[in-house]
């Protein structure tokens, strides 16, 4: 399993406009119309990158652009419907200036097609304006367990966490809940309080029990923007590996240097347009 991420500066989208317009001509009319309906350009650009990520993965595996086919489950989870000798499962996420894709291939993929149980979520460590952290947690209180609330807001006499650690813990909890439900391919309506992430101990429980056959990996990435600010993101990948496989019961940090590959949006779009352009020419 690996993760590929594309970073962009949401305050400098004009630099990507030409590439965005060129890229629109490489996707089908339905997808193009969908992207053009977004009110904010950043959503359209992220959507285009999200469509190109799995297509570039297929291109690397020898699939020509005109043979690439994608479908969705009844719950709306996308999957590759192109016939492949070696199966590929993937999932896409985006937040602010990051679009990311987790994927598994072949023997690394549990055989439960068509969408496979793999999910990813990523979020920027940022508190909404004019909000306090205790107030922010309260908004989501009914979707957190009692343990999670205590992990985020330690009861007295324990000292309060640093601002960075508060946000890190909250968004790790939230991205894990999102990644797990996305791996299951579920739509809206899943009760997030059924999922519990004890961040200090890196333990996950579903309905009070450590889930069998699941693998969770947490990661961080950074995005430098023109203002000089460095955006800090956290994310989690959830993957079902099979109950007959002895999986690590704890959430694991991404340890391999090649596990997470990050590319800047301008470079990624330029390469994708060049590599996928044969679809238009063909």
Provide CB contacts within 8 A for 180, sequence distance 6+: 119, 195, 204, 206, 214, 216, 238
Owner of token pair 């957190």: 144
How many angstroms separate the most distant Cα atoms in the chain?
68
Closest CA to 31 of 42, 40, 44: 44
Residue with tokens 């309506």: 189
Phi and psi at 261, nearest 5°, equal -115, 125
In angstroms, rounded to a whole number, what is the distance separating the alpha carbons of residues 268 and 7? 9
Among all chains, which residue has been given the structure tokens 């299951």?
Answer: 184
Rounded to two decimals, what is the model's pTM? 0.94
Phi, psi of 188 (to 5 degrees): -70, 155
C-alpha closest to that of 269 among 39, 6, 42, 34: 6
d(CA 185, CA 73): 8
Torsion angle in degrees (nearest 10) through CA of 83, 278, 71, 36:
180
| 128 CB-side CA count, 13 A | 6
pLDDT of residue 278: 56
- Which parts of the chain fold into alpha helices (H)? 17-24, 29-36, 41-60, 133-139, 146-152, 163-184, 265-276, 278-281
CB 98 within 8 A of CB 260: no
Query: In sequence order, what are the beta bridge partners of 104?
Result: 89
Is 240 within 8 Å of 183 (Cβ atoms)? yes
pLDDT tens digit at each of 282 positions of the chain: 999 999 999 999 999 999 999 999 999 899 999 999 999 999 999 999 999 999 999 999 999 999 999 999 999 999 999 999 999 999 999 999 999 999 999 988 999 999 999 999 999 999 998 899 999 999 999 999 999 999 999 999 999 999 999 999 999 999 999 999 999 998 677 899 999 999 999 999 999 999 999 999 999 999 999 889 999 999 999 999 998 776 677 999 997 778 999 999 999 999 999 999 854 444
């Amino acid at each position: 399993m690996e993760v590929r991420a594309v970073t962009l500066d949401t305050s400098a989208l004009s630099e990507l406009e030409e590439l965005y317009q060129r890229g629109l001509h490489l996707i089908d009319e339905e997808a193009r119309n969908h992207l053009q309906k977004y009110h904010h350009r950043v959503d359209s650009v992220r959507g285009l990158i999200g469509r190109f990520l799995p297509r570039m993965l297929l291109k690397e595996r020898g699939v020509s652009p005109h043979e690439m086919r994608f479908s969705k489950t009844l719950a709306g989870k996308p999957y590759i419907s192109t016939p492949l000798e070696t199966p590929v499962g993937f999932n896409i996420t985006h937040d602010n200036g990051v679009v990311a894709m987790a994927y598994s291939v072949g023997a690394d993929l549990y055989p439960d097609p068509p969408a496979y149980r793999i999910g990813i979520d990523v979020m920027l460590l940022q508190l909404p304006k004019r909000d306090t952290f205790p107030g922010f947690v309260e908004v989501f209180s009914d979707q957190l367990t009692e343990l999670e609330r205590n992990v985020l807001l330690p009861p007295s006499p324990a000292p309060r966490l640093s601002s960075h650690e508060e946000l890190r813990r909250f968004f790790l909890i939230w991205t894990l809940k999102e990644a797990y439900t996305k791996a299951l391919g579920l739509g809206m309506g899943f009760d997030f309080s059924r999922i519990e992430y004890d961040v200090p101990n890196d333990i996950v429980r579903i309905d009070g029990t450590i889930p069998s056959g699941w693998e969770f990996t947490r990661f961080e990435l950074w995005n430098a923007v023109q203002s000089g600010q460095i955006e800090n993101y956290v994310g989690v990948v959830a993957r079902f590996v099979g109950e007959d496989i002895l999986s690590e019961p704890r959430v694991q940090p991404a340890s391999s240097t090649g596990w997470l590959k990050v590319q800047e949006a301008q470079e990624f779009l330029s390469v994708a347009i060049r590599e996928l352009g044969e679809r238009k020419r063909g």
